[in-house]
Amino acid sequence: MTDPAHPDPGTPSDPAPAGCPAAPADRPADPHASPSAAAAAPAAAAVPELFGWEFATDPYPAYAWLREHAPVRWTELPSGVGAWLVTRYADARETLADARLSKNPAHHAGESRAKGRTGIPGERGADLMTHLLNIDPPDHTRLRRLVSTAFTPRRVAAFAPRVQELTDRFVDGFAAAGEADLIHDFAFPLPIYAICDLLGVPAEDQDDFRDWAGMMIRHGGGPRGGVARSVKRMRAYLVELIHRKRGDLGDDLISGLIRASDHGEHLTENEAAAMAFILLFAGFETTVNLIGNGVHTLLRHPAQRAALQDALARGDTALLETGVEELLRYDGPVELATWRYATEETVVGGQRIGAGDPVLVVLAAADRDPARFDAPDTVDLARRDNPHLGYGHGIHYCLGAPLARLEARIALATLLTRLPDLRMAVDPEELRWRGGLIMRGLRTLPVAFTPRAPQGE
């Protein structure tokens, strides 16, 4: 659903390995990189450790160092693939909209082994590559128009009552217990069932999707084969569901895609399955992290949380709307935008990028750039000047951003209203973050609160 919402190239949400220091300045970090990478690499001793456990917990000091000292830097990633990291806001915004940077992995100059590590595990083997995250215009324009036809703002707005119903149902499931893991019990299931409803997955099949999604989001640290099997099962189901819906169209997103295709727009079976897959997959993990990271931020900043609760008690939702944008900026669900590849030699932030070189825009770094945001390391839910890049920029801007925002607003408002004394049940230092490259999210978020009766009792 969203270009920035792609899991990391080797393991979607796995614990990161022990860190990736810079390559020596006299050679590129990757043998397939352009010679420009060698000249750009600062001395190893000066570079903070990237992608280790401490970095996953709080990457922002390392990103601040990169913004100041190496804003466009060649780095070897945990997967063994090298890429340019872009960390300053102005460079990031320009890069995200640069047509010379392709989304198509075919432009990657690396060997086939490296190319296989720059996408969702299993998508190649399952023939699910032809989706919005991997293609350029004109195919991107055609497919995005098809999805936009089915995924309208009116459809999202009309979906609000269902999101509220799901939200209340999941809160009812743990309200009387006085404790919960907000990731497992709330932030994870809510967007899964919501996107299944929107796509038109029958209720009796939605638990299967929860299991497949759980494999991809929680078990990425295991063998890639387990994730790949889940992807293949998901693809087989989607192909069968598309065939079924052709004979019984409904008022859902997959039916909308079929209708648009049948009215003259060409959509192959593989494209339809790939689009349904990426809408489902990318439409849930970003929202899991937005809700989880957002609640975590509010609990760590009690004055901001209290101001939001006061506003909600008065029926004022303005602070909720600006607050969700600030949570997206401050500690958003997507750490790095998905992969891009230079189709020709180009320059980003004064650094030469070789043709075929991979480029990763670090959204988390750009959105805390003091050159663009006042007091960027401070949470201000009322922040007005907030053109964050949390959902990307340009033609690959997140198509599902309105749905994610809707779900986040309803989820946060419901939690803060129904569980007003919500608090963390563990020391913050005990929390562990999933160490995937692209996404940023908590493994668990144990909370406690005064037990409440389910609604209607």
Greater confidence, 265 or 157? Answer: 157
Token pair, residue 21, equals: 């220091």
pLDDT(117) > 80? no
In this prediction, residue 5 carries a pLDDT of 35
Between 48 and 119, residue with greater pLDDT: 48
Instruction: Provide mean pLDDT across the span 6-14.
Output: 34
Can you give the pLDDT at residue 102? 92
Closest by CA to 135, choosing from 332, 268, 11, 327, is: 268
What string of DSSP letters covers 173-191? Answer: HHHTTTEEEHIIIIITHHH
Q: How confident is the model at residue 258 (pLDDT cuts 50, 70, 90)?
A: confident
- State which of 48-62, 149-163, 343-357 shows the largest mean pLDDT: 343-357
pLDDT of amino acid 21: 36
Check residue 264 and give its pLDDT: 57
Question: What does the pLDDT average to over 85-101?
Answer: 97
What confidence score (pLDDT) does residue 227 get?
67
Q: Of residues 369 and 48, which shows the higher confidence score?
A: 369
Q: Which of 119, 115, 441, 113 is nearest to 278 (CA)?
A: 119
| Segment among 18-22, 140-144, 218-222, 230-234 with least mean pLDDT | 18-22
Q: Which residues of 79-91 are buried (b: 16+ CB within 10 A; e: fewer)?
A: bebbbbbbbbbeb
Residue 280 has pLDDT above 80, yes or no: no
Distance CA(456)–CA(342), nearest Å, equals 57
For residue 419, the model assigns a pLDDT of 97
Residue by residue, what is the 3-state secondary structure of 67-129?
HHHCCEEEEECCCCCEEEEECCHHHHHHHHCCCCEECCHHHCCCCHHHHCCCCCCCCCCCCCC
Q: How confident is the model at residue 148 (pLDDT cuts 50, 70, 90)?
A: confident
Max avg pLDDT among 115-124, 216-225, 381-390, 427-436: 381-390
pLDDT of residue 119: 56
**1 falls in which pLDDT band (50, 70, 90)?**
very low
Say which residues have a Cβ less than 8 Å from residue 70's Cβ, sequence separation at least 6.
40, 42, 47, 87
Q: Which residue has the tokens 């703002």?
A: 153
Confidence of residue 124 (pLDDT cuts 50, 70, 90): low
- pLDDT for 3 equals 41
Average pLDDT, the chain: 83
> Distance (Å, rounded) from C-alpha 52 to C-alpha 41?
19
What was the pLDDT predicted at 4? 36
Assess whether pLDDT exceeds 50 at residue 455. Answer: yes
Task: Compute the average pLDDT of residues 218-242.
Answer: 69
Counts for the chain of helices (H) and strands (E), in that order:
18, 12
pLDDT tens-place string over residues 309-351: 999 999 999 999 999 999 999 999 999 998 999 999 999 999 9
Identify any residues that bridge with 74 across adjacent strands, giving them in sequence order: 84
* More confident of the two residues 135 and 299: 299
pTM summary value:
0.86
Bridge-based pairing of strands 340-342 and 101-102 is antiparallel
Domain 3-448: top CATH class:
mainly alpha
pLDDT of residue 284: 83
Question: DSSP states of 391-457 as a string?
Answer: T--GGGS-TTHHHHHHHHHHHHHHHHHHSTT-EESS-GGG--EE--SSB-EES--EEE----PPTT-
| pLDDT for residue 147 | 78
pLDDT, tens digit, 9 for 90 and up, residues 264-277: 566 777 777 777 77
Range of weakest confidence among 37-51, 59-73, 125-139, 191-205: 37-51
Collapsed DSSP state (helix, strand, coil) of residue 360:
strand
Nearest to 127 by CA among 241, 257, 274: 274
Confidence of residue 29 (pLDDT cuts 50, 70, 90): very low
Closest CA to 271 of 55, 152, 279, 106: 279
Q: What is the pLDDT of residue 52?
A: 86
Higher pLDDT, 29 or 358: 358
Q: Work out the average pLDDT over 237-265.
A: 80
Which pLDDT score, from 0 to 100, does residue 266 have?
64
